[in-house]
Structure 1
Amino acid sequence: MRIRTWLGRKVLASALLGAGLALAPVAARAQPTDRAAEKPLRLVVNVGLQVLDPIAGTSFVTRNFAYMVFDTLVAMDSQGQYRPQMLQGWEVSADGLTYRFTLRPGLEWHDGQPVTAEDCVASLKRWGARDSTGRRLMGATKELRATGPDSFELELSRPYGGVIDALGKPSLHTPFMMPARLAATPPTQPVAEIVGSGPFLFVKEEWVPGERTVFRRNPRYRPRDEPADGLAGGKVAHVERAEFLTITDPATRAAALQNGEVDYLEYAPLDYLPMLRRDRKLVLAKPGGIAQIMGAVAVNHAQPPFNSLPVRQALQMALDQREVVAVHGLPPDMTRVPCQSMTMCGTRYSSEAGGEALREPELERARALLKQSGYNNERVVFLHPADSALINPMAMVVADRVKRAGFNVEVQTLDWATVAQRWLSRAPVEQGGWSLVPVIYTGFDMSEPLSNPGIGYNCTGSAPWLYCDEALKPLLERFEAESALEKRRATVAEINRRALANVNFPLTGQFSSPAVWRAELEGVIDFGFPVLWNIRRAAR
């Protein structure tokens, strides 16, 4: 077993777990201290941080990073409601076509410059050129303009029912604010420096890409007066230093947490859940609904063989959600399979319309569909991100079932950073392209149709999978124009039917993967992904 060199020495994690031996330090002890506020708060992230720009980047770890150093105009609270964050508030015209926003006073960038309305307008335009929801909002916008140093307006050209929802979008891609000079960077190109206005400062000189990211408390940050609630409220940093660490081996992650070398795991190693649940020194999160995870397979619709709908239908019939999710060995209360809702089961837009035939997938039926499709044994390049503790075991089951259905599968085992680069390629598989990528998303990404990776990117050409269903276009337009919740839900049912029929983004199962942290941490916000403000260490 390989353990990162920064752990200090090579040890067997299984032995550590059994004997309770102390793990070697996971970071340099340059400035030891007994003061609780100055002891680094250490979070183990699921995969290593490689990309820092939350608009150019596409990974959850980049989003987690961004919440440390950037801030948002609007934020989602623990009840799923949207509240002002950088904004003092907003007003909407009587016809619903003009939104007037005012920034709260005293906001500063990390370089000491004031946050201005011009910065926010530039940031929204950059986000709007990259994100699926942002593109739709900008497409419905007549003008977005600053009206003063701390005020700006968004004037719509047509009704758009989810303006505030869009500005408060909690996950990929989140509309984080940055200085206008940085927001002038093309959205697919990472910004040259990290300057935010959030509660922590990025310590660039200590960053080891893929292994360690270091933050310091931002002494100039002015949190909101109200208590922290989800992503909203007062983001008070109680620790002077925080770190994101990467530990690829699940057993080593568990050992590091139990021995107090790290404080918080973004995802508890699922194989060790029974042991972690019994440990009174630890607290497990309780994710449900929007905080759960959905597995899926990103399909390259632009290249053979999956540019053929009948071939995609054969693939979809081969995927048994029960078998895929069972690989994690989760208790029944942590799974929700089968679920054929593109917007996740248990969320406000949940609908399984059109999924009836997929509840009982059959390999024999998949083989028959594949034979009828005219598939000619074309090579299927399956990119397998082996360093993701969640995706890796599910990917092995998916690859096996696709092979057993009769596809000519070539599994290429890579790290996630390499997969994320490879799937941007639009080349044929013979020239380094790809066919299938197993992925996971949370309900924060899946539950809103316009941001959903299997719905919201329809015919935009801005996502790697490049699906395009003409019949889906008017449904999405109807959804975005509507503001009444019940009418939106009825439209989502039709959207779900179309997305499943076109096999945009076949689902592999919904489940919980809880975070876990040491019980000595107080004020941890159990939201569904890690935020490190509001956390204190219990006094000893």
Structure 2
Amino acid sequence: MRSSRASTTPARPSWPGGNSPMSTRSTAFSRGGRRSGARFHKQRPGSPIARPRCTVQILPRYASVKPDPGRFMMLLPTGKLPLSLAAFTACALLCGTSALAQDAFNCPATGGDLIVGMEASMSSLDQHTNTSSATRNVAMNIFETLVIRDEEMNPVADLADTISVSDDGLTYTFTLREGVSFHNGKPLTSADVLASFDRYRDVGINRASLDVVEGWEAPDDMTFVITLVRVQPTFLESLSSYTVPIVIMPAEEAAKPAGQIDPIGTGPFEFVEFVPDSHVRLARYDGYVPNETLPELSGFAGRKQACVDTVTFRMLTEPGARMAALETGEIHIAENVPTVSQERLANTEGVELLRLQNFALNIGYPNWSAPPTDNRLVRQAMLAALDMEEIMEAATDGAYELNASFQFPGQGYYSTAGEEFYNQADPDRARELLAEAGYNNEPIVLLTNQQFPSMYNSALVMAAQLQAAGMNAELRVLDWPTALATSEQETQGWNFFYTFWATVTAQGGPTSLRNLADPNNVYKPVDNVGDPDFNAAFDAIEAGETIEERREAFARAQEIAFEEVMAIPFGIMSNAQGIRTEVEGFVPFYNTRVSNVWFAQ
């Protein structure tokens, strides 16, 4: 235990989770759900996830031919290999030639307007500057990146054709794919990549991921070179993160301030219109050139095709209205089917339900700049009072798992370090800490929204538990975009914010904790100066030379996050999505994908 924090915290546990072996994540889909009673259809044969696939984690110089759905293994040096050749070699070793010989995906049918019912509204399609999952659900069908994640969250090439790394591990050279053009018809060149990286360095939410970069250059139209200050084994993991990805846009758009771009990308769908609080409409981009690295869609990588003419994302934030629209066929895909609706919909003709297990951490974080949560003892009292079973039951109607970790079980960095702080359900201990803190009934403002029922219901139950422990908890309810913006831009007027981490957690490794590190600091420390011990541990996660060192650093960082109450993970939520039976090829993922989806003829 750190001596400076010894007076109010129990002894630290040993960290067996920090050294646990890598393990394989179970299949993404299942029938039914915990206490839901719903019947779920298995994924149709012939859809992308149902086909045999070769999962390869392979990067130049740093590669593992062992498939790692739990992500991430230490990437072992293999010599200077272009990504495409390395992936071919590793896949041949791992899977034989059957996966390599798999036919490339082509749309079985084309045409129609696919309508998606969104669970939340959105304010912007500027992917550089927006953390909202609602934005990603649309924008990631418009934009592409240099490097992205596949279905199992391994980094793979996207707009890059090949990637090579210098012998000293400091220089990354990306050769771009030929023939790619933006939706305005302009050919993609390295000047656009350079301008997009310049913009992200200035306004990108996760620009701290570029702190290790000394600089970048575009020596010719098809080559982009990044030089690092020091070797960072996790650099391509970081670069391929798509929580707030470095999407590539035309250089003239990259010159625009935050929130003022025209959403022009290179993806299979182009932007048509955005009507706030109503809908976003996309259309097939006829000039799209697919990535042939993988024969089909995998994550946001691989061969993507726009099979439908248009996609309309309708903002149907009231769950009852969204479910009714699915039942009547007014929409074709419904995001987030509530547990209470699943049994009825599973027995509704024309509707299928698909579940993504381990979808997200239901999570919240305090505001360290606003009293009384600027007091560590008050934060610890809040955590001590919480009964996670009650919170998760209300948040999910029973479809949950408790989880004392910032990772999903089975992930490569999974640890239970700090678990003694989780699910204490001890109001007496909370009162002791409040007395020691000198708490004087100051309001504790819980910032939430009603568009995401899991967040709202978590706030309701948590408020009751805090009140029962002697805290003056009150709710502040805003719409989701405003609540999110308030948590990001304001340090007063709220004490605790509710959200969920889906892609943040699913991508694993450093990405799972980046929100708590400098300068992201979602918990709003004074002057945005984060906890020094946590930041030191986070730096060790990124820079550790061995997987053991990085796992141990993750465990240290996680324990500090629990002890200091930088964030509170309540538990794991699954996610059920509903589709009409005429929809083919749709596979639930951490964000909505409309490529390679078609209507049955």
The TM-score with structure 2 as length reference comes to 0.77
1:260 is aligned to 2:324? no
Q: Percent identity?
A: 28
Amino acid at match of 1:159: V
Question: Does structure 2 retain, via aligned residues, the 8 Å contact 1:75–1:85?
Answer: yes
CA distance in 2, matches of 1:118, 1:101: 13
CA distance in 1, matches of 2:246, 2:446: 32
Q: CA deviation at 1:532?
A: 0.3
1:340 is aligned to 2:404? yes
Segments of structure 1 that go 5 or more residues without pairing to the other structure are 1-35
Question: Does structure 2 retain, via aligned residues, the 8 Å contact 1:349–1:447?
Answer: no
Structure 2 residue aligned with 1:54: 127
Judged with a 3 Å threshold, the aligned counterparts in structure 2 of structure 1 residues 303 and 490 are, in CA distance, closer, same or farther, namely: same
Judged with a 3 Å threshold, the aligned counterparts in structure 2 of structure 1 residues 43 and 506 are, in CA distance, closer, same or farther, namely: same
Question: Does structure 2 retain, via aligned residues, the 8 Å contact 1:450–1:456?
Answer: no
CA distance in 1, matches of 2:386, 2:503: 20
1:92 is aligned to 2:165? yes
Structure 2 residue aligned with 1:434: 494
Question: Does structure 2 retain, via aligned residues, the 8 Å contact 1:229–1:525?
Answer: no
CA distance in 2, matches of 1:134, 1:162: 15
Structure 2 residue aligned with 1:377: 441
Structure 1 residue aligned with 2:510: 450
Pairs within 5 Å for 1:319-468: 319-328=386-395, 330=397, 334-337=399-402, 339-428=403-492, 433-445=493-505, 448-452=508-512, 455-460=514-519, 463=522, 465-466=524-525, 468=530
CA distance in 2, matches of 1:340, 1:158: 33
1:533 is aligned to 2:598? no
CA distance in 2, matches of 1:351, 1:127: 32
Q: 1:318 aligns with which of 385, 396, 402?
A: 385
CA distance in 2, matches of 1:81, 1:469: 30
Question: Does structure 2 retain, via aligned residues, the 8 Å contact 1:134–1:166?
Answer: no
For each residue in 1:352-401, what CA deviation from the matched residue of structure 2 results, as whole angstroms up to 9, or x when unmatched? 10112424322222222222211122222222201223322222112222
Secondary structure of the equivalent of 2:340?
helix
Question: Does structure 2 retain, via aligned residues, the 8 Å contact 1:294–1:510?
Answer: yes
Q: 2:242 aligns with which of 170, 179, 183?
A: 170
Secondary structure of the equivalent of 1:476?
helix
For each residue in 1:440-496, what CA deviation from the matched residue of structure 2 results, as whole angstroms up to 9, or x when unmatched? 1115446535333x5544242664633721111221111111253333222211111
CA distance in 2, matches of 1:345, 1:317: 23
Q: 2:338 aligns with which of 269, 286, 289?
A: 269
Structure 2 residue aligned with 1:152: 224
Q: 1:298 aligns with which of 365, 379, 391?
A: 365
CA distance in 2, matches of 1:269, 1:93: 50
Question: Does structure 2 retain, via aligned residues, the 8 Å contact 1:449–1:455?
Answer: no
CA distance in 2, matches of 1:460, 1:396: 30
CA distance in 1, matches of 2:131, 2:558: 24
Question: Does structure 1 retain, via aligned residues, the 8 Å contact 2:387–2:424?
Answer: yes
Question: Does structure 1 retain, via aligned residues, the 8 Å contact 2:447–2:477?
Answer: yes
Judged with a 3 Å threshold, the aligned counterparts in structure 2 of structure 1 residues 176 and 199 are, in CA distance, closer, same or farther, namely: same
CA distance in 2, matches of 1:125, 1:400: 47
CA distance in 1, matches of 2:507, 2:302: 23
1:231 is aligned to 2:300? yes
Q: CA deviation at 1:135?
A: 1.2
CA distance in 2, matches of 1:462, 1:504: 9
Judged with a 3 Å threshold, the aligned counterparts in structure 2 of structure 1 residues 498 and 347 are, in CA distance, closer, same or farther, namely: same
Q: CA deviation at 1:499?
A: 1.1
1:212 is aligned to 2:279? yes
Question: Does structure 2 retain, via aligned residues, the 8 Å contact 1:230–1:526?
Answer: no
Amino acid at match of 2:242: P
Structure 2 residue aligned with 1:241: 310
Judged with a 3 Å threshold, the aligned counterparts in structure 2 of structure 1 residues 74 and 509 are, in CA distance, closer, same or farther, namely: same
1:194 is aligned to 2:263? yes
Structure 1 residue aligned with 2:179: 106
- Higher mean C-alpha displacement, 257-266 vs 37-46: 37-46
For each residue in 1:143-191, what CA deviation from the matched residue of structure 2 results, as whole angstroms up to 9, or x when unmatched? 21112101011111111112211221132x11211112222334xx213
Judged with a 3 Å threshold, the aligned counterparts in structure 2 of structure 1 residues 328 and 141 are, in CA distance, closer, same or farther, namely: closer
Judged with a 3 Å threshold, the aligned counterparts in structure 2 of structure 1 residues 366 and 129 are, in CA distance, closer, same or farther, namely: farther
CA distance in 1, matches of 2:307, 2:409: 36
CA distance in 2, matches of 1:49, 1:133: 19
Structure 1 residue aligned with 2:38: none
CA distance in 1, matches of 2:207, 2:406: 20
Structure 2 residue aligned with 1:511: 573
Structure 2 residue aligned with 1:3: none
Q: CA deviation at 1:419?
A: 1.1
Judged with a 3 Å threshold, the aligned counterparts in structure 2 of structure 1 residues 443 and 424 are, in CA distance, closer, same or farther, namely: closer
> How many residue pairs end up in the alignment?
489
Question: Does structure 2 retain, via aligned residues, the 8 Å contact 1:162–1:483?
Answer: no
Structure 1 residue aligned with 2:84: none
Structure 2 residue aligned with 1:21: none
1:521 is aligned to 2:587? no
Secondary structure of the equivalent of 2:301?
coil
Judged with a 3 Å threshold, the aligned counterparts in structure 2 of structure 1 residues 103 and 285 are, in CA distance, closer, same or farther, namely: same
CA distance in 2, matches of 1:336, 1:311: 27
Judged with a 3 Å threshold, the aligned counterparts in structure 2 of structure 1 residues 369 and 441 are, in CA distance, closer, same or farther, namely: same
Amino acid at match of 2:196: S
The TM-score with structure 1 as length reference comes to 0.85
Q: CA deviation at 1:48?
A: 1.1
CA distance in 1, matches of 2:207, 2:123: 24
- Higher mean C-alpha displacement, 122-131 vs 149-158: 122-131
Secondary structure of the equivalent of 1:255?
helix
CA distance in 2, matches of 1:181, 1:203: 19
Structure 1 residue aligned with 2:111: 38
- Higher mean C-alpha displacement, 389-398 vs 99-108: 389-398
Judged with a 3 Å threshold, the aligned counterparts in structure 2 of structure 1 residues 384 and 476 are, in CA distance, closer, same or farther, namely: closer
- Higher mean C-alpha displacement, 314-323 vs 476-485: 476-485
1:161 is aligned to 2:221? no
Judged with a 3 Å threshold, the aligned counterparts in structure 2 of structure 1 residues 322 and 302 are, in CA distance, closer, same or farther, namely: same
CA distance in 1, matches of 2:213, 2:514: 21
Secondary structure of the equivalent of 2:356?
coil
Segments of structure 2 that go 5 or more residues without pairing to the other structure are 1-108
1:74 is aligned to 2:139? no
Q: 2:375 aligns with which of 302, 308, 311?
A: 308
- Higher mean C-alpha displacement, 116-125 vs 194-203: 116-125
Structure 2 residue aligned with 1:29: none
Structure 2 residue aligned with 1:183: 254
Question: Does structure 2 retain, via aligned residues, the 8 Å contact 1:343–1:443?
Answer: no
